[in-house]
Amino acid sequence: MKDFINFLYKNHSLAYKLILFISTTFLIVYLFPKSGKFKYNFEKGKPWQSENLYAPFDFAIKKTDEEIQSEKKEIKDNAILYFNLEPKIKDQVIADYNSEFKLELPDSLVKKDKEKLFALGLNIIDHIYNYGVLSEDFDFSNDRKVVLLEGRTEKQTIKFSDLIKQGEIKNKINNTLNNENLSQYSTPYISLFFDIVEPNLEYDKGITEKALQSDLDKVAYTRGSVERETLIISKGEVVEGSKYQILKSLESEYESQVWTKSNYNWILFAYTLLVSLALLMLLLFLRKYRFDIFENNTKVTFIFFNVFLMVLITTLVVNYNSQYIYVVPICILPLVLKAFFDARLGMFTHVITVLLLGSIVSNSYEYMFLQIIAGIVTILTVSELYKRANLFISVGQITLIYIIAYFAFFVIHEGSVETLKWETFGMFVLCGLATLFVQPLIYAYEKLFGLVSDVSLLELSDTNTKLLKELSNKAPGTFHHSLNVANLAEASANEIGANAMLVRVGALYHDIGKMMNPTYFTENQSTGINPHDELSSKESAKIIIDHVINGIEIAKKNNLPDRVIDFIRTHHGTSTVYYFYKKEKDFDSTVDKNLFTYPGPKPFSKETAILMMCDSVEAASKSLKEPTSIKIDNFVENIINKQMVDEQFLNANITFKEIQSIKKVLKHKLANIYHLRIEYPE
């Protein structure tokens, strides 16, 4: 057990990557659809490109959504209405009529007319209560069937037009009186009926809706079926009409059928294999071509997190509404990775992510083609992300490529532009606008993962920052030296294709530790007094060496990024404070050289190696007396060759050819600083 714990401790970095790999794989697989996927692509009105297709199993032919909605609408429009009938109300109205008739109509009324009016009233009551009087006005169609319920028992079925609305009673009375030439009695007669008539029909919404739902539940979602081994479509046959609907039914059956536990597990296993292969390729790429990133667990976590984030956002959009798929700004991924790392890693990760997304989206070939092309354009066009204009121009170019590629695919599929979906172009514009969110996202990532982008480097390169202002006040000579080194390092980095912005910032801050004891460094000794004269060689060497440690402490206190602190750590590597070492050795031959040696580490990148060369050359160049081109050439060669002999660049991924190029730049720059002309032969 102890050996196993020791093994894990020694290989904790690889163990972390394994856990990260497995967890990311399962999280992505969890987001994937857990159903079968139809392996054929087809378009309505286009020829069937694959081989003859036979039904792999029995399946039903599904109706289209339009057909189903039409059937449901028809059922709703013709659904039976249910009304509760109260039979006692009619008897009560007749009784009230008998008692109120004599009171409402005058005694002076002619007996014959009075008898006639009384009989007419009974006929009117009998007519309006033949089926019933509605309690309120309803906006139903007159042809709708109505079932009258008496005590929850069906009494009779009629049309809605047979029912009497309360507003119709007045017209019915007037028409009856006009027909009998008794219109002069309309006012008291109508007043009489309005006092006694009561509605006896109440709409039963609960029973009506329950019956409607029962009818809707009976709607068939399929029409007919296809038996196994039946020829569905032949190669070259046009996909249209019933053929198209049968293919859509088969596709739907593949994607939505209830899988057995065995099938479900196989699908999960297959998805896990595909996702793990894709992520494994990403890890192997990092290990082979970006080993420094592979060794840094934070950076590997950052890359995997961004891949998962893109899959998550795309899945959420697809589940909400797949037509918005092109609004997702996938090109943010290569932008972010290029900002923190490099273009090659950004492009490789983008392609891996798009391949994973191909299993989520519909019409995957078109989607992957558009996203990969857009990713390539992103990598090619976006440079110097810290310049706002560059980002806007690049986003415009990315949006244009999206539109052109989509237009081409649409014409290929449809054969014309008449049915072009202009709203999709609007989605590409929204995608472009969403891509601009990369700036605040980069800032958030810098804080969360401790990474450094060119935007932060640009801010740090400003000589008006608090730390650099403090350096210029406390150690003006060191500040001037740092500026010269920054110019030399930037030119050298540009010559060999290194990160010029990073090395410039590193050069500006590499000597901030000298602020602790500025007068112990010659560039700050303006009075001609050298405090080292009163110290031993060991004490002097300790003060000189400690400026590296002090610089690291100051940098951390001021929250400088680790990538910048690396320049402070490595700009002297494991070199020796030779002047004081030689002075002490002349006094004591048994002196310990380690007391006069910088703690290191040695430079481990092109940028840190460039700073070591430029720092040494610039500092030593102050000792040149009557410099000439030949002197400068020999001077640069001697300093850098000595560093190579001391194996200071052993851990840096820099070649001899690149070192020669840096020497050439330094010679040229120093010649310009000292205003030297070319020495012509006599």
In this prediction, residue 36 carries a pLDDT of 55
Overall average pLDDT of the 652-662 stretch: 92
Burial class (CB in 10 A: 0-12, 13-18, 19+), 596: buried
Checking if the pLDDT of 173 tops 60, the result is yes
Nearest to 506 by CA among 559, 453, 561, 464: 561
Contact 401, 373 (CB under 8 A): yes
| The Cα angle at residue 34 between residues 30 and 36, in degrees rounded to 5 | 150
DSSP string, 654-682: --HHHHHHHHHHHHHHHHHHTTPPP----
Of the listed ranges 52-61, 63-72, 128-137, 264-273, the least confidently predicted one is 52-61
In this prediction, residue 493 carries a pLDDT of 94
Q: What backbone phi and psi angles, to 5 degrees, belong to 52?
A: -55, 135
Of the listed ranges 147-156, 490-499, 538-547, the least confidently predicted one is 147-156
Of the listed ranges 301-310, 388-397, 490-499, 559-568, the least confidently predicted one is 388-397
Give residue-wise pLDDT tens across range 416-430.
Answer: 677 677 788 888 889
Contact 509, 564 (CB under 8 A): yes
In this prediction, residue 109 carries a pLDDT of 63
Give the pLDDT band (50/70/90) at residue 472: very high
Helix, strand, or coil (residue 554): helix
In this prediction, residue 469 carries a pLDDT of 94
Contact 128, 89 (CB under 8 A): no
Give the pLDDT band (50/70/90) at residue 435: confident
Q: In CATH, which of 1.10.3210, 2.60.40, 3.40.50, 1.10.287 is domain 454-673? A: 1.10.3210
To which residue do tokens 């030593």 refer?
620
Rounded Cα gap, residues 408 and 208, in angstroms: 53
Range(s) of the chain covered by CATH 1.10.3210:
454-673
Nearest to 646 by CA among 583, 608, 582, 597: 597
- Please, what sign has the CA dihedral across residues 66, 67, 72, 78? positive
Overall average pLDDT of the 383-393 stretch: 71
Percent of the chain clearing pLDDT 90 (strictly above): 29
Give residue-wise pLDDT tens across range 537-592.
Answer: 888 989 999 999 999 999 999 989 888 999 999 999 999 988 888 887 777 777 88
In this prediction, residue 274 carries a pLDDT of 92
Of the listed ranges 44-58, 89-103, 298-312, 502-516, the least confidently predicted one is 44-58
To which residue do tokens 């009989």 refer?
119
Give residue-wise pLDDT tens across range 93-149.
Answer: 888 878 877 776 666 566 777 778 778 888 888 888 888 888 888 888 888 898 888
Q: What is the pTM of this model?
A: 0.62
To which residue do tokens 């070939």 refer?
365
Rounded Cα gap, residues 342 and 523, in angstroms: 37
Checking if the pLDDT of 680 tops 60, the result is no
Helix, strand, or coil (residue 639): helix
Checking if the pLDDT of 367 tops 90, the result is no
Average pLDDT, the chain: 84
In this prediction, residue 675 carries a pLDDT of 61
In this prediction, residue 509 carries a pLDDT of 96
Checking if the pLDDT of 395 tops 50, the result is yes
Output b/e per residue, 2-20; b: 16+ Cβ within 10 A.
Answer: eeeeeeeeeeeeeeebeeb
Checking if the pLDDT of 215 tops 80, the result is yes
Say which DSSP state 167 is in: G
Give residue-wise pLDDT tens across range 442-454.
Answer: 888 888 887 888 7
In this prediction, residue 110 carries a pLDDT of 65
In this prediction, residue 660 carries a pLDDT of 95
Contact 204, 84 (CB under 8 A): yes
